[in-house]
Amino acid sequence: MRKISGILLSAGESKRMGEPKALLELKGKKIINKLLEEYLGSLLAEVVLVLGFRADDIKKAIDIKSEKLKIVVNEHYEKEMFSSIQRGMEEIQSSDAILIGLIDHPFISRKLINWLISQYETNKIIIPSYNGRKGHPIIIPFSLKDEIVALNPENYSLRDVIHRHENDVKIVKTNTDSIIFDMDTREEYERAKKYEENKN
């Protein structure tokens, strides 16, 4: 069976939200714990959680313990998301591929993660889509790790890497809008609370 590692990014300053998204709650559960439950409960072999802004506060809020979980801090989190992806990848020593997810997408489930893992093909970049819109999480072949880690995060993004390898991209259609449900503002957080209420 393929070994797929996971990175969950929660390092940003959440300037538009005004506070860390990880510490917001949906139905009484902090989003960081909600997502870690799904990531750790999936077929991912390991999960690297990358923190940055208010890392200590988020660490204190985590109520899940797992041998699969490694928490690291990106000291240069202000250098955009790509630097946090690099920080997470540094912790993954061997794998077939790496799934990269964002704290901004609070409704990602273990079922979706497992399905994405099942769609992985050697050396392919797996990007989910819903109604023609691309979303997250995505899966990157481990073979691209060295290339990604070597780039200057102030000049490059993950999008640049994907563009370089566009012939290796595999778009997979999903039936869930969770892959495009982004939560960056207070308005989107209010929408997320309604979404959570209605889906159960």
Question: Could you state, in order of their start, the residue ranges of all structural domains in the chain?
Answer: 4-199
Q: Is the peptide bond before 137 cis (omega within 30 degrees of 0)?
A: yes
Asked if 145 contacts 100 with a C-beta cutoff of 8 angstroms, the reply is no
CATH code that applies to domain 4-199? 3.90.550.10
Count CA atoms closer than 13 A to 170's CA, side-chain side: 15
**pLDDT score at 96:** 97
Distance CA 192, CA 176 (A): 15
Q: What is the pLDDT of residue 75?
A: 92
CA 122 – CA 120 distance, rounded (Å): 7
The pLDDT of residue 15 is 78
> What are the per-10-residue average pLDDT scores of the chain (200 residues)?
94 82 93 97 98 95 96 89 95 97 96 97 97 97 97 92 96 95 91 82
- Other C-beta atoms closer than 10 Å to the C-beta of 67 total 7
Q: What is the pTM of this model?
A: 0.95
Q: Vertex 24, ends 20 and 30: CA angle to 5°? A: 115
